[in-house]
Chain A
Amino acid sequence: MTDAVVAEGLTKTFGAFTAVDHLDLTIAKGEIVGFIGPNGAGKSTTIRMLCGLLRPSAGRAVVAGYDVGREPEAVRAHIGYMSQKFSLYGDLTVRENLRFFGGLYLVPRRDMEERMATAVSMAGLEGREDALVRTLAGGWKQRLALGCAILHRPPVLFLDEPTSGVEPEARRRFWELIHHLASDGVTILVSTHYMEEAEYCNRIALIDAGHLVAAGGPGELRRRELGGVLFEMECAAAGAALSVLQRAPGVIDATIFGDKLHVLLHDAEAAAGLQPLLARQSIGSGPPRAITPSLEDVFVQLVTRPHQAGPAA
């Protein structure tokens, strides 16, 4: 079996609330899969089930060849996990944290020094090995946490929003590390709510309200899932224009994106009528320009589409 992660019908309910609903997901060995969705969509719950930290209410998952429900300890020995909250010991030094996790993962004594040095240089913490971790800035803490999670060289890595609250430059560096690990054959599932980070992934799984709404490569998703042509318009009274455009002929949907309007059309010909239409309502606007949809466009489109008609909301 070459797939590193296989989830079938994975479901988690908390009382009456269904956090994850019949989720199917397959991740090939060495793949970087981005797990994308808003807060509360079920990303963390899914990752925790795959790590054996939460018991699935239904369905099953096999991680690194071990069944999560039946052999959780074998799974734990073969994965690295970075939880959403910062999870190192602030009152221990860089070196002490590394040594602690190395001890828990039974890293052989003869390899320990070398792996610690690798983790330190990966985090860019050379010379600060004896600094207390609570004194480090966010980006360093996060890279050190990654270093701790991969001390035992796990084949599968689960990263739960590792880049949240970290400045853009540090985020970029972090993604370089992730790519570096993947090139060594490590399989990585990384969740994020930064849409632009999805572009760094081989494949994306979009999740909303516990449902997997789409999965595929970033380019593939943009082409396939939108179901129309996307135009951008500049407009002074965006709110008023929005309701006009949403009812206009040939328009699938219109949304506000920052200070601009995004209009999804069945075909490009309908674009010509948009500016005059707004002008008749005394709304000034610039000419529509065809744009390449971002993943955010795709996501907005997917979650507003009535998939809620499906099994559970």
Chain B
Amino acid sequence: MNLGRIFAIAYKETLQVWRDPRSLAMALLMPALQLALLGYGVSLDIKRVGLCIYDQERSQISRELVERLTASDWFRIAAKLPDDQAVRAAMDRGDCVAAVTIPVNFSRILATTGKATLQTVFDATDVNTTNIATGYAQGIVGIVTANFEQRWAASHGLRPQTVGVIDLEPRVWFNEGLDSRNFIIPGVVAIILSLVGAQLTSLTVAREWERGTMEQLISTPVTAFEFMLGKLAPYFMIGLFDAAFCLCAAAFWFEVPFRGGLGTLILTTALFSLVVLGIGYLVSVRVRDQRGASQVALMLTMLPTTLLSGFTFPIDQMPQALQAVTLVVYARYYVTILRAVFLKGSTIGDLIAPVLALVVFAAVIMWAAARSFHKRLD
């Protein structure tokens, strides 16, 4: 291995990126654009979900319930409806996502048995929103019920403690506001890095084949390993720059709490960059034309990273078979690491498993990439 040759290639590659508006835009503008789109566009929080109320009882309790529901920022009252047909119609028109029917004898049943049924209908065509809205609604109803139970106990001359009303007080750690942005932004950073990193390197070898410069290159004594290191060096620097930009934006612009160590962050980010740059390079060596390489790289990075990294869908909620598949989705380890470092302040020691996984991925991909480059035309 000769450093002079590696430097010659790295320098040449840097000049070419610098003079190619397309590469430059991809390296410098794409991360900002993606961050804006994904950072603002993707939110798993729901706000002001349309709610229809069919209050058959019109009692103190039912009014309190409705007040509570609307007092939160999560629901807005879309309409108060007179009958079941109207509920159905409002649902069909899409006026509301949820409809709550308070039955005629609601407070009476609650008063006598301590247990009453509240019918809520959700439009489950948007499963995600429905799940979250159901959770919120249950929370609110729970509070109202608890209040009522306390009053009921008092009115029967019992002290609340003695009836043993269970006061469930959930404590949320690490992401206290349950703000999904804190959860999503670190994932967005992983997506941007894998997208930009693999896209940039996917063009680099294919371009040499397309322009006919590769034949000249492989007639020189440069080795496959020198060639790879020289090619990757400038993109590694770009990758680190993009990572720094995205991570700073995450911490300072989107105000995701950062509780971990900078060293852990830099080390794992460098590892992850090596993995994605290596994948792009490997694809470029194999596919040999820029358009094809770019598309293959996109498939190998974008899809698994968005769908299977745990970025949007929690891995432990996936079917067993799919969970097994995610083991080879390198991005899941980085997503795990980023969330842990940002929100939990985890250190390298806490993250041995995902860090080791990234080391293994980086080593295997680099090895495969160096091996698959042959200095021959056949």
List residues of chain A with CB within 8 A of the CB of B16. 89, 91-92
User: Given the known A-B contacts A72-B375, A87-B212, are A51 and B219 also in contact in the complex, defined by CB atoms under 8 Å?
Assistant: yes
| B5 with A104: CB separation less than 8 A | yes
B8 contacts A by Cβ under 8 Å: yes
- Within the complex, the shortest CB–CB distance from B204 to chain A, in Å, comes to 13
B19 touches A105 (CB 8 A): no
Q: What's the nearest-Cβ distance from chain B to residue A209, in Å? A: 20
Interface digits, B358-378 against A, CB 8 Å rule (1 contact, 0 not)? Answer: 000000000000000001111
Assess whether B221 is in contact with A76, with CB atoms less than 8 Å apart.
yes
Known contacts A87-B216, A91-B19; A55 and B378 CB within 8 A of each other: yes
Interface size classification for chain B: 20 to 34
B7 at the interface (CB under 8 A from A): yes
Evaluate contact between A104 and B221: CB separation under 8 angstroms: yes
Tell me the nearest residue of chain A to B212, going by C-beta: A85
Supposing A87-B216, A91-B16, A91-B19 touch, asked if A53 and B7 sit within 8 A by C-beta, the answer is no
Does A140 sit within 8 A of B, measured CB to CB? Answer: no
Asked if A267 is an interface residue, CB under 8 A from chain B, the answer is no
| A76, B215: Cα distance in complex, Å | 12
| A6 at interface, CB cutoff 8 A | no
With contacts A73-B221, A103-B5, A103-B7 taken as known, whether A87 is within 8 angstroms of B376 at the C-beta atoms is no
A203 shortest CB reach to chain B, Å: 24
Q: Any chain A CB within 8 A of the CB of B320?
A: no
Contacts of A87 in B (CB 8 A): 212-213, 215-216
Chain A residue with the shortest CB-CB distance to B378: A54
Query: Which residues 206-255 in B have Cβ within 8 Å of A in the complex?
Result: 211-213, 215-223
Is A194 in the interface zone, CB < 8 Å from B? no
Mark each residue of chain B from 1 to 14: 1 if its CB lies under 8 Å from any CB of chain A, else 0: 01011011101100
Q: Is the CB of B378 within 8 A of A76?
A: no
- Interfacial chain B residues near A29, Cβ < 8 Å: none
B-contact 0/1 string along A77-117, CB 8 Å cutoff: 10101110111111110001001111111100000000000
Q: Flag if B4 contacts A103 (CB, 8 Å).
A: yes
How far apart are A299's CB and chain B's nearest CB, in angstroms?
27
Report A-chain residues with C-beta under 8 Å of the C-beta of B219. 51-53, 76, 79, 81, 83
A266 within 8 A of B: no
Known contacts A54-B377, A104-B8; decide if A91 and B213 are in contact (CB<8 Å).
no
In the assembled complex, how far is the CB of residue B176 from the closest CB belonging to chain A, in whole angstroms?
52
A-B residue pairs in contact (CB < 8 Å), sample of 29:
A52-B219, A52-B375, A52-B376, A72-B375, A73-B221, A76-B219, A79-B219, A82-B216, A83-B212, A83-B216, A86-B212, A87-B213, A87-B215, A87-B216, A89-B16, A91-B15, A91-B20, A92-B12, A92-B15, A99-B11, A100-B8, A102-B8, A103-B7, A104-B9, A104-B222, A105-B220, A106-B2, A106-B5, A106-B221
Excluding A101-B220, A103-B9, 19 further A-B contacts by CB distance (< 8 Å) are A14-B378, A52-B219, A53-B215, A53-B376, A54-B377, A55-B378, A73-B221, A73-B223, A81-B219, A83-B212, A89-B211, A91-B16, A91-B19, A103-B5, A103-B11, A104-B9, A104-B222, A105-B221, A106-B4
Q: B residues near A, CB below 8 A?
A: 2, 4-5, 7-9, 11-12, 15-16, 19-20, 211-213, 215-223, 375-378
